[in-house]
Amino acid sequence: MLKRSLYLLGALAVLAGVYGFYSRLFIGERDVNYGSYVTWGLWVAMYLFFAGVATGAYMLATLDYLFDVPLFKGTGKYALWGALVTMPAALITIGFDLGHMERIWKVYLQPNFLSLLAQMVWGYTLFLAATLVSLWLAVRGRRDWAMKAAMSVGLFLAVFLSGGVGALLGINANRAYWHVGLLPAQFPVFSLASGTALMLILIGWIGRADDPRRPQQLAVLAIMSVVLALVKVYFLWADFSQSLYSGLPDNVRAVNLVLFGPYGWAFWGLQIVLGTAVPIVVLLQPKLARDGFWAGLMGVLILIGFGVARANIVFPALAIPELEGLVTAFSGPHLNIEYAPSLMEWSVVAGVVGLATLAYLLGTDRLPFFAVKTEVTK
C-alpha cells in the first residue's frame, strides 16, 4: 500500500514536472525568478540537497561493503542504488541552471582546473563511475579487495565532494554569510545526515518488512539521525551566534533574513520544528524508531528540513546587495534582490523528485539484483 502510494506520488510529481521541463528545454530561462543579483535559486539549492543525499547514501553503503558491519549486511545495495538515482537528480537541477547546458562538454574538454566548479564536475563524474563499479561488483557478489578498493575511492570522493559543495559557496569572499572556514567542514556531516535519513526511508518503507534485522537497523539509524541532528543544530548555533555577535552588517542582515525575514516561517516551521525537533522526539522513542512507517516518515521530515536548510544557505547570502543603491539603480527583468522560486522552478523540482522516486522504486522492484538478494535474505 505504502509502495503504491509512493508510485502514485512519484507519477504525479513527474506530471507536475512536465511544464517545467518543457519550459526550460524549449523556451529557456525566461520563467525563472533567479537572476543577476540572486544568481542562484531553487535549482542550485536542490543540487546541493540531492548531491548531499547521494554522497551520504554512498557513505552508508560503506557500512555493508567496506566496513562489513554485520547489522547492515544487505543494505548496501539499497544505499548504492539510492546514490545512483539521486546523483543524476542533482546533476539535472544544476544542469538546468546553466544558461548554455549544451556546452557542458567544455568542462571536460576545455576545463579550468583552478575552478572549483570544474573540479566538482569531474568529481561527480568519477563518483558516478565509482558508484557504478561498486554496484556492478555488488551484483556479482564480490566482497574482495576490488570491492574494498572501489568503496574506498567512492568514500573519499563522497567526503571530498560533500566538502566541495560547501567550498563552492565559501570561496566567495564577497559573501560574508558564506565565507566562513567552517562551511566546507559542515557539509560532509550534512551529507551523512541526509544519507542516514534516506536509509530510514528505504529500509523503513521499501525494505522487506519481514527482515529480522530491520528493527535493529532502524534503531541504529535513528540514533545516528538524532546525533547528527544535534550536531547540525550546534553548527547552526555556531554560525548564527558568531555572525550576530560580530555585527558585520552584511552577515547580520543575511542571518536576520533567515530568522525573521519573509521566509522565517520556513526556517522555524520546516527546518527547525518539522525537520529537526519532531524527528528527534519521535526517533528517541524506541518503539517508534523501530517501526518502519514512523522511521520512514521521520526520514522524510529530516530530508524536507535539509531541503529548506540548503535554500536557507543559498538565498540569503545572495539577497544582500553588493553595493548600496545597486538594486534601484537600474530596473529590468531578473534584476531583483527579493527571490521566491517561480512555478516553473518548482515544477522542475517536482519532476526531478518524481523521476528519482520512480527510478528508485522501479529499480528495486524490477532489477533482478534486488530480487535475487531478497530471496537470499528470505
- Write the DSSP symbol of residue 339: -
Q: How far is the CB of 85 from other proteins (least distance, A)?
A: 24
Q: How many residues bind other proteins (CB under 8 A)?
A: 45
Q: Other C-beta atoms within 10 Å of 17: how many?
A: 20
User: In the window 77-106, what residues touch other proteins (CB under 8 A)?
Assistant: 97-101, 103-104, 106
Figure out which of the listed residues 212, 330, 368, 376 binds other proteins, where binding follows CB under 8 A.
330
Stretch that binds other proteins, among 62-70, 281-289, 300-308, 314-322 (CB under 8 A): 314-322
Angle among Cα 205, 211, 145 to the nearest 5 degrees reads 100
Figure out which of the listed residues 324, 368, 376, 378 binds other proteins, where binding follows CB under 8 A.
324
- Write the DSSP symbol of residue 322: S
CA dist list (Å): 307 to 134, 239, 279, 286: 27, 18, 15, 26
CB-nearer residue toward other proteins: 68 or 322: 322
Tell whether residue 254 is a contact of other proteins (CB under 8 A).
no
Q: What CA–CA distance (Å, rounded) separates 309 from 231?
A: 14
Tell whether residue 125 is a contact of other proteins (CB under 8 A).
no
Tell whether residue 325 is a contact of other proteins (CB under 8 A).
yes
**CB neighbour list of residue 51: distance below 8 Å, 6 or more residues apart:** 87, 90, 124, 161, 162, 165, 191
Q: How far is the CB of 191 from other proteins (least distance, A)?
A: 21
Figure out which of the listed residues 16, 20, 24, 37 binds other proteins, where binding follows CB under 8 A.
37
Q: How far is the CB of 55 from other proteins (least distance, A)?
A: 20
Provide the grid cell at 323. Answer: 553595493
Binding mask 174-213 for other proteins (x = CB under 8 A): xx--------------------------------------
Torsion sign, CA atoms 337, 316, 99, 173 = positive
Provide the grid cell at 165. Answer: 559543495
Provide the grid cell at 275. Answer: 525537520
Figure out which of the listed residues 1, 181, 212, 323 binds other proteins, where binding follows CB under 8 A.
323
Q: How far is the CB of 119 from other proteins (least distance, A)?
A: 8
Are the C-beta atoms of residues 306 and 40 closer than 8 Å to each other? no
CB-nearer residue toward other proteins: 64 or 97: 97
Tell whether residue 112 is a contact of other proteins (CB under 8 A).
yes
Figure out which of the listed residues 111, 215, 264, 363 binds other proteins, where binding follows CB under 8 A.
111
Figure out which of the listed residues 3, 25, 67, 115 binds other proteins, where binding follows CB under 8 A.
115
Stretch that binds other proteins, among 32-40, 71-79, 343-351, 362-370 (CB under 8 A): 32-40
Tell whether residue 2 is a contact of other proteins (CB under 8 A).
no
The torsion angles phi and psi of 224, rounded to 5 degrees, stand at -60, -45
Tell whether residue 1 is a contact of other proteins (CB under 8 A).
no
Are the C-beta atoms of residues 31 and 23 closer than 8 Å to each other? yes
Over its C-alpha atoms, the chain yields an Rg (Å, rounded) of 21
Figure out which of the listed residues 1, 4, 70, 110 binds other proteins, where binding follows CB under 8 A.
110
**Helices 249-260/214-246 angle, 10° precision:** 130
Stretch that binds other proteins, among 69-77, 117-125, 130-138, 352-360 (CB under 8 A): 117-125
Figure out which of the listed residues 71, 146, 328, 343 binds other proteins, where binding follows CB under 8 A.
328
- Write the DSSP symbol of residue 72: G
**CB neighbour list of residue 158: distance below 8 Å, 6 or more residues apart:** 55, 56, 58, 59, 127, 188, 191
User: In the window 157-176, what residues touch other proteins (CB under 8 A)?
Assistant: 171-175
Provide the grid cell at 108. Answer: 571536460
Q: Other C-beta atoms within 10 Å of 260: how many?
A: 11
Question: What are the residues binding other proteins (CB under 8 A)?
Answer: 28-30, 35-37, 39-40, 97-101, 103-104, 106-107, 110-112, 114-118, 121, 171-175, 318, 321-326, 328-330, 332-335
